[in-house]
Structure 1
Amino acid sequence: MSTPSPFITTTTVINTAIPSSSFEKVKNAYDHGDNDEIIRQATSTIAHIEQLVLLSILVQRAHALSMKSKFGAAAQDAETMIKYAPTLPQGYLCFGKLLTMQGKQTRALIVYQEGLEKVPTNDPAYGQLLQAKKMADEKNNKRFDLVSALPLEVKDEIVSLLLEEERADLFDVSTTWSRRLENCQKAWRYIYNKHGYYGDIAVSRVLPKIAKHISDLIITTTEDKVWLKYLEHLENGQFRNLRSLQLTDHRIYIVFSGNSVISLMDGFWKARYTLTKIDLLFSKRGSPITITDILFYLPYLETLVLDTPELLADILGDLESIQEPHHSLVDLTLDTERTAGDALKRLTKWCPYVKRLRLEYAQSTALDVVNDYFPNVEMLGYNNGYKLPESHKVLNQEYNNNKPIIPIISMNNMYTKQKQGRLRAFYSVNDGLGVPGEEFLRILQKNQKTLEIIHANMGMTEQQMLDDELHNNFRPDYSIEAASVILNLDRLKKIMFWPDIYGVYERLFCRMIRPSLEYFKLTKTSDLPAVVDMLINSQQLFETLGLSRIFIINNDQENGIATQCLVRLFNEYAATSLPGPNTTKKLTYFMFDCCSFISDDVLDALANVRTIKGLSFQGNTRITPQGLKNFFIKLNKQNVQITELRLAEMGGSMDNKTLLDIISTMRELEALYLGNVHGLRDNDIKELINNAKKLDNLTVKRCHVDPEEIITFVNNTSRNFKYLNIHEYESDNDILTFDFDAYD
């Protein structure tokens, strides 16, 4: 005999028996041979049985979840019960009990009252609803509110540390909490709805009281009624301090109709003085909003991110109706279907002050349009797949020029090409299709006086693949020009590139090496010895040097040559990058990412460079565990202290014991990234944290550890981490994009 759940026995006794009349009706129909009536009555009885069984199971699960303090999930089960059977008492009794357990008597009273209004008075459990409401009312009246004795700043600090849905639920705890929450600006400034369903539902319920405080809002709801509630408050102008808005749920387009689009635009207009950033995602074609709408209704908008499967030409709208250029938009992301140059050119007249531009799925013709008709663009992302970094973190502020170049636009809609660009940073994708060589060369030539950062994948373009250039050995004009052109990029400080199939851009980038250059990362080189010779002969030192995705397969001779090259390079750096007051530039960061030939001998040579502070080793499987340990032991003996370390996808080169042995030598380690370390467990991470006393930035991906266990451990220590990110199953897909800037 099974034991009844305490959740039920201590709260209610719900009658789940099937009324005998239901069986009698089926039997009577059977006795009279009325087949239609048998089917109708039997179907009704079966549905009622299924309903009661489901409710019983949901009650049991809600109880188990509440015992694990997972009240949000338990509440979802209770709300499902109410939605599934609104005229039965089980859902109201279960939900009310959950709220009472959390001290939310006010909310429990509302739930019980709703049940009393919807459950028939002849239901056997109707009396239980009355009794539950009475008990909740008595508790609410007798309760002592400790919050009233706390200082105001303590109350605000407590509230700000809670999850959004927990903050919203506190409105139901007491009058004092409700009054304080309604006036606590700090608690509601940022609403990110990180917990999806629960967060959206909870926050939307208290919007009338908190909308005035919200500055940054992300709406993730999948519930139409919740989205419409947000829309209603936006249209009514209740988001008086709204600064940024992100609508990124894939179902939002479903609730858009003619009226809701008008409501959204009215909301934009009422928030126009404060709303400076919007991020919109539409997952299907038929976007109801055009760029014209956005620019017209938000005249002070500074940042626009638009992600849609539409062609850019189809969502521009009637740009001429704007009548004058948008003066505030400086940051624009267009993630549209095959962004073409002619459509982009139509937009340039109306957005002439854009400084940061990111184009996804863009065609090669778009590059020339940006180069010629976006005169103020300083940072360009071309099919790069990632958000652009913040300008002030990567660009040299000494060269910053806030005065825009005002384009000459005549009244008859003619466009004037700019003779000189002011592009300072170019970012392309780190994998996949490359940048068109001809268009990119024109960008380099036009912006050589201002370029500071180049991330350029010059691999095969879509057109080159269609033309089968790799096998036809075709050399276009740009490759001939790039092989000999001389560029004066005196401000250039960072290069990361993939060579083209002709190898001309690799030599061109090497010729760009100059005293201003601080960062040099090479991916998929076509001639490693030649690159190393250029690096040594240039007699220029870099602060950051990286090699990525250099594969030499089953060729001992080539492996030997590659090893000799790097040993020679590191010996050069060991001699010229010694620490001391007269050294103006030192090799501080080094990256080996997916290089098949890296061996213990290479690491031993690298250990002679005594200025290293940051290291990245990813996907280098020829290194032995002992060779890796010896490398860090040698650094330690030479008093070289690593502060930033990244180890990922190392296969047999790295296991939990090797990692712990390494960390034990690193007294100054501050930032650590681990990905797919074999055998790593929760206790290893805890020991690692205990050993690395200065560690305050930790990322762990694809290691079999429990995120909650690690986070709880960190919270129970006196350590104050700046950044902690633990994902057991998340793919380590940023292996090619890693940059020590990420730690800044």
Structure 2
Amino acid sequence: MSTTSPVTTATTIINTATPISSSEKFKNADNHGDYPEIIRQVTNTITHIEQLEFLLMLEHRAHALSMKSNFGAATQEAETMIKYAPTLPQGYLWYGKVLSMQGKQARALKVYQEGLIKVSTNDLAYGQLLQAKKMADEKNNQHFDFVSALPLEVKEEIVKLLSEEERSNLFDVSTTWSQWLENCEKAWKYIYNDHGHDGNIAVSQVLPKVAKHINHLTIPATMKEVWLKYLELLENGHFRNLKSLKLTCNDEMRKLTSNDFAFGITTTIITITGDMIPNLFCANSVMSLMNGFWKTRYTLTKINFMFSENGSPITITDILFHLPYLETLIFVVKDPLADILGELETLQEPHRSLIDLTLSSYPTTGDALKPLTKWCPYVRRLALEVATPGVLDIVNDYFPNVEMLGYNYYFKLPTLHEVLNQDYNNNEPIIPIISMNNMYNKQEQGRLRAFYSNNGGQGVPGDAFLRLLQKNQKTLEIIHANMTITKQQDIDGEPYDNYRPDYARKAASVVLNLDRLQKIMFWPDIYGVYEPFFCRMIGPSLKYFKSVETSDLFAVVDALISSQQILETLGFAQIRTMNNDLEHTLATQCWVRLFNNYAAKSLPRLNTTKKLRNVMLDYCYTISDDILDALADIKTIKGLSFQGNSRITRQGFKNFFTKLNKQNVQITKLKLGGMKDVVDSNTLLDIVSTVENLEVLHLNDLDGLTDNDIKALVHIAKKLNTLVVKRCGVYSENIVAFLNNTNRQFKYMKIIEYHDDDEDIFNFDFDTFN
């Protein structure tokens, strides 16, 4: 691969003279007094001069950019010159020169050849094009290619450091590079098309050679020419190892991929957004896409369709029919579910592979959902967004194998293996998998193990929720229940004074045997019925307890203490500010009593298998320095989360971590967010310096942090291996570059500058990062 020395001056000769033919026509018109012709000829001449002047300025800027080794920008300038004046030689001469400076002689030859076709042979610079092509041809034949001498592993490491566009351009460097790249699986396993128009075009041009290697693919759907190229190859079966496909617009693609990386984490999904439907999804393209799915049916197992416009051209039947081995389907549309089901009878038999189903339709009703229970009976993970209350009974009665249910939960549900009891997976299920003969019949007992409702907003209907708990009480392990005001209660003008709903009597009298329950997070209902109901669920199997927007802090604390149960994770969120000093005093006494109780249970002499490991106090506005002092006496704590302003002082916060350190409390996981009056850059560094065993750190919405602050804390926290920074005013590119240049081995890093709509502030779980 040759490397030509950069030139020091621009050498292209631009002919700024007025064309002879125009000058003669002007004189002839002047002699005959043809004033309209004079105006036309002068206008053409001025346009020609302006065009040449513009090209000259572009060339000067391209030259300056190339001298700074900014070849990407210099290339764009040359392309602009060609687009502006495709029949003039200047753009082709400079484009070829920039390529030649990078050692890309083969591509330079193509550019010069294109120029020789487009430019008139009468042009004064035509000879320059011929000479430039000859020199590029000589360099291409004479250069030394060291690639053949490199070990295989070295070449693979080189390719991993290059962008997709650069990898694609290497096909033009030499025959050796081209032959090796065509057979290098690692170079093409992941293609994200996230380097703009030129990068997308560059990758699409080498697709016929590398499509067979691609496992995970993203296509920018706003580029019709790129989309059609990929669609053609998909339909013809070139992507024979395809596992993951994303079809999305450029803006969404940047949001998903920019500065957001996790080591060892891969996804296998297809995403198609509605932005490209009007332009790209005609009847023929839908059929081509379905034919492509059929060609990849043995490898493609996960699909995500997201249509932002009404009138989805694709139905659920289309997908299930063409992908009989599909395991995960995410279908997000603005149409009612009934309109996008399709003719399910076409399937002829139930889909045997689909186990993970997410539906977001407007709306998802119980009547529309019921047919899917017949044709998708093996679904184990079911997420229903924009769902009406009727779907709860349909799932409860007719989806016989669902183990995880999301009801209007607008964040991504955890995967089954991330949150559920692993022992359950290694043994026979408590409730056997329902056989084909029993499908579409009302089930007497459920297999639901995890229930997630939405965070905030409108709650779960009480009666349907109780029926769900009763039918699945033998298997439930996780309950995530928002019992705040429902849509119907809001319509009816509730809450009413001196009114008790029907579910209040049932909740007070029902007896449940939830001996597998490990995790509860709940919002109380508007009548205060469900808070004591959830507190009665605190039993020997429970490990995680979190109360959000509690209506009676004192009653919840009393229940926790009187249960005599030791939890592993204890959390409170959205505890309101008290009305006066007396209430603040009582609340402080309540918190201190709770933490003193756990401190006594954390003494070394007590040999217990369960210990309080994690404490989360998020947006709890009654927390003060005195409460932190009591919390610091719990010697078993490993993880802490503090979010939102409270009555904590900056010095009190520092003293808290100092006390933890002196008492040899080994904090390994820490989350700090939205504490602008408590945590500044100096306080953060002081805290991190006292947490010697810190491994996991989450920072969000902390104003005033700089790139140097993040670098300093990484330097201080020697054992840090997981770092998440969201909306802290730091520049992700600088942080990522710094982390990549360290010798530290990080398990997970995520740097986000913008608002993260997928962030679930209430359901943060330290166990995810074990």
TM-score range, shorter chain: over 0.9
1:587-635 CA-partner distances (Å, limit 9, x unpaired):
1111111111111111111101111111111113321110010000000
Cα distance in 2 for partners of 1:22, 1:286 equals 57
3-state secondary structure, aligned to 1:586: coil
Q: Is the 8 A contact 1:247 1:281 kept in 2?
A: no
Deviation per residue, 1:67-120 (Å, 9 max, x gap): 565544554454444444433334433433333333222222222222222233
Structure 1 unmatched ranges of 5 or more: 1-5
Distance 1:154 1:433 in 2: 56
**8 A Cα contact 1:190 1:216, kept in partner:** yes
1:302 is matched by which residue type in structure 2? E
Report the equivalent of 2:763. 737
Assess, with a 3 A threshold, how the Cα gap between structure 1 residues 632 and 221 changes in structure 2: closer, same or farther: same
Taking structure 1 as the reference length, the TM-score comes to 0.92
Where does residue 456 of structure 1 map in the other structure?
481
Shift of 1:714: 2.4
User: Is 1:442 aligned to residue 442 of structure 2?
Assistant: no
Paired residues for 1:279-290 under 5 Å:
279-290=304-315
CA–CA distance in 2 between the matches of 1:43 and 1:279? 55
Which residue of the partner structure matches residue 3 of structure 1? none
After superposition, residues 166-177 of structure 1 pair within 5 angstroms as 166-177=166-177
- Percent of aligned pairs with the same amino acid: 68
Structure 2 gap ranges (5+): 1-5, 250-272
SS of 1:206 mapped into structure 2:
helix
Between the aligned partners of 1:524 and 1:64, the Cα distance in structure 2 is 60
Question: What letter matches 1:597 in structure 2?
Answer: T
Alignment of 1:141-540 (within 5 A): 141-249=141-249, 250=273, 251-253=275-277, 254-400=279-425, 404-408=433-437, 415-470=440-495, 475-540=500-565
Q: 1:110-125 counterparts in 2 under 5 A?
A: 110-125=110-125
Q: Counterparts of 1:649 and 1:283 in 2: how far apart (Å)? A: 32
Q: 1:24: how far off? A: 8.8
Q: 1:367 to 1:600 in 2, by over 3 A?
A: same
Q: Which amino acid aligns with 2:763?
A: T
Given that 2:504 and 2:529 are in contact with CA atoms closer than 8 Å, whether structure 1 keeps it comes out as yes
2:268 maps to which residue?
Answer: none
- Say if 1:200 and 1:221, in contact at 8 Å, map to a contact too: no
SS in structure 1 at match of 2:335: strand
Question: Conserved in 1, the CA contact under 8 Å of 2:14 and 2:52?
Answer: no
CA shift for structure 1 position 669? 0.8
Cα distance change, pair 729–288 in 1 and its aligned pair in 2 (3 A): closer
Conserved? CA contact 1:204–1:230, under 8 Å = yes
Whole-Å Cα distance in 2 between the matches of residues 52 and 482 of structure 1?
83
Is 1:689 paired with 2:714?
A: yes
C-alpha distance in 2 between matches for 1:126 and 1:160: 40
Q: What secondary structure does 1:88 align onto?
A: coil
**Change in 2 beyond 3 A, CA 1:652/1:320:** same
SS in 1 for 2:375: coil
Greater RCO (Cα-Cα under 8 Å, separation 6 or more): 2
Task: Evaluate the alpha carbon distance shift between residue 144 and residue 373 of structure 1 in structure 2; reply closer, same or farther with a 3 A threshold.
Answer: same
Whether contact under 8 Å (1:272, 1:299) holds in the other structure is: yes
Match of residue 622, structure 1, among 647, 667, 670: 647
What's the secondary structure of 1:449's corresponding residue? Answer: coil
The answer on whether the counterparts of 1:339 and 1:359 sit within 8 Å (CA) in structure 2 is yes
Matches within 5 A, 1:579-594: 579=604, 582-594=607-619
Over 3 Å counting, the alpha-carbon distance change for 1:143 and 1:446 in structure 2 is same
Given residue 573 of structure 2, which amino acid in structure 1 is its aligned partner? S
- Report what 1:675 is aligned to: 700
TM-score (norm 2): 0.89
Does the aligned pair in 2 maintain the 1:159–1:167 contact within 8 Å? yes
Q: Which of 654, 661, 671 does residue 636 from structure 1 map onto?
A: 661
**Separation (CA, whole Å) in 2 of partners of 1:671 and 1:102:** 42
Contact persistence 2:222–2:248 (CA under 8 A): no
For 1:233, give the aligned amino acid.
L
Displacement of 1:232 in angstroms is 0.5
Tell me how far apart the structure 1 counterparts of residues 41 and 500 of structure 2 sit (CA, whole Å).
81
Question: Is the alpha carbon distance of 1:7 and 1:452 closer, same or farther for their aligned partners in structure 2, counting shifts above 3 Å?
Answer: farther
Check the 8 A contact 1:623/1:653 in 2, yes or no. Answer: yes
Partner of 2:736: 711
CA distance in 2, matches of 1:40, 1:483: 92
Equivalent position SS for 1:310: coil
Secondary structure class of the residue paired with 2:509: coil
Mean Cα deviation higher: 229-238 or 447-456: 447-456
Q: Distance in 1 between matches of 2:96 and 2:111?
A: 6
* Residue identity opposite 2:164 in structure 1: E
Is the CA contact 2:418–2:768 (under 8 Å) kept in the aligned structure 1?
no
Aligned length: 735
Which residue does 1:720 correspond to in 2?
745
Residue type of the alignment partner of 2:313:
P
Give the distance between the partners of 1:549 and 1:64, measured in 2 at CA: 56
Q: Distance in 1 between matches of 2:173 and 2:590?
A: 69
Distance 1:427 1:725, change over 3 A: same
Q: Is the 8 A contact 2:12 2:93 kept in 1?
A: yes
For the residues of structure 2 that align with 1:548 and 1:389, how far apart are their CA atoms? 21
- The 5 Å alignment of 1:544-555 reads 544-555=569-580
Residue deviations 1:22-41 (CA, integer Å, cap 9, x gap): 69979998999989878877
Q: Identify the range of structure 1 (506-515 vs 630-639) with the bigger mean alpha-carbon deviation.
A: 506-515
Task: Give the letter for the 1:168 counterpart.
Answer: S
Which is worse superposed, 125-134 or 311-320? 125-134
Alpha-carbon deviation of 1:279? 1.7
Alpha carbons of structure 1 residues 29 and 396: separation in structure 2 relative to 1, 3 Å: farther
After alignment, is 159-168 or 231-240 more displaced?
A: 159-168
Q: Distance in 1 between matches of 2:542 and 2:200?
A: 48
Distance 1:370 1:27 in 2: 88
Q: 1:643 offset after TM fit, Å? A: 0.9
Q: Residue by residue, what CA displacement relative to the aligned partner does 1:255-280 show, whole Å, maximum 9, x if unpaired?
A: 11111111111111111111111222
Q: CA deviation at 1:437?
A: 2.2
**Which residue among 691, 695, 705 is the counterpart of 1:666?**
691
Offset at residue 201 of structure 1 (A): 2.4
Question: Residue type of the partner of 1:638?
Answer: Q
Give SS of 1:337's match.
Answer: strand
Who is 2:269 aligned against?
Answer: none
Q: Which moved more, 1:701-710 or 1:581-590?
A: 701-710
Residue 255 of structure 2 is matched in structure 1 by none
- Which whole-Å CA distance do the structure 2 matches of 1:602 and 1:354 have between them? 46
Residue 123 and residue 428 in structure 1: after superposition, are their counterparts in 2 closer, same or farther (change >3 A)? farther
The CA deviation string for residues 463-517 of structure 1, in whole angstroms up to 9 with x for no partner, is 2222221356654322331233222111111111111111212121111111111
Could you tell me how far 1:453 is from its partner in structure 2?
1.1
Say which SS state the counterpart of residue 359 (structure 1) adopts: strand
Instruction: Work out the CA distance in 1 between the residues paired with 2:37 and 2:280.
Output: 41
Alpha-carbon distance in 2 for matches of 1:439, 1:658: 48
Shift of 1:691: 1.2
